[in-house]
Amino acid sequence: MSTFNDLCIKHGTDKGTTVRECHGYSFAYEDLFKEKRNEKLKILEIGIADPLFPGASLKVLTEYFSNSIVYGFDIVPCDFNIKRTKLFKGDTSSREGLVEVLGFDPEPFDIVIDDGSHIHEHHLLCFNEIFPRVSKGGLYIIEDLQAPGGEKTINHFYNDSNTQALKNFGVARTELRCYNKLLAIIKNEKTVKKRN
């Protein structure tokens, strides 16, 4: 059975160890996901239209999580024809756009990966709109905190004066982890109310 990193190499995404920036998120993801990989999950990735390797991370996620549905969200229209994916066009800088797109399905997400614009304000808008839709025990992950604006995001979540962003959703600071200063990993421990 292929590891998450094997699949990143196979499909050419920089979440692994061989393509472009070689972020190595694949090691954190293997650790986070290995217990869940055979479950039927609902996964959302924001930012799926990498111009060099379009849809690569969707291919990784659908192959790794062979029983799951993967939702993809991007500001440009995408049609990758990948089984078990549902793709949506939307803008992470617009609350109205996020609410409209997220209204498609009332069931909570088990894993959310924000690999979108990497703009601090967009990170917070997405978190505020989407985190309440993460299942109990589910994970909300923000990638590329080394990008301009990313450091501001992790400081926002870790800074004592800003922990209200987490407290609003009943998240304790102990449920926030940072991987190599590159990923913010937030675990939801509260039961999510289904939206109508």
3-state class (DSSP) for residue 160: helix
The per-residue pLDDT for 193 is 55
CA distance 4 to 34: 9
Look at residue 29 in the predicted model and tell me its pLDDT.
93
The structure tokens 């996901």 sit at 33
- According to DSSP, the residues that pair with 42 across neighbouring strands are 69
Instruction: For the chain, give every domain's residue range.
Output: 38-187
**pLDDT recorded at residue 43:** 97
Contact 136, 191 (CB under 8 A): yes
Running DSSP on this structure, what letter comes out for residue 193? P
Q: What is the pLDDT of residue 81?
A: 85
**What is the reported pLDDT for 167?**
80
* pLDDT value of residue 70: 96
Of the candidates 21, 23, 188, 178, the one whose C-alpha atom is nearest the C-alpha of residue 109 is 188
Catalytic positions are 118
Which is it for the CA torsion 140, 141, 145, 148, positive or negative? negative
C-alpha–C-alpha distance, residues 105 and 196, integer Å:
9
Backbone dihedral region of 94: left (phi > 0), alpha (psi from -120 to 50 degrees) or beta? beta
CB 194 within 8 A of CB 107: yes
What pLDDT score does 5 carry? Answer: 92
Name the CATH topology of 38-187: Rossmann fold (3.40.50)
Structure tokens, 155: 């400081």
CA distance 57 to 115: 10
- Find out whether 78 and 48 touch, Cβ atoms under 8 Å: yes
Q: What is the pLDDT along the chain (196 residues), one digit of tens a residue?
A: 899 999 989 998 888 766 665 677 889 999 999 999 999 999 999 999 877 778 899 999 999 999 999 999 988 878 888 999 999 988 989 898 888 778 877 889 999 999 998 899 999 999 999 999 999 999 999 998 888 878 888 888 887 766 677 888 888 777 888 888 889 999 998 765 544 4
* Structure tokens, 66: 């062979």
Q: What pLDDT sits at residue 153?
A: 87
pTM of the predicted structure, to 2 decimals: 0.91
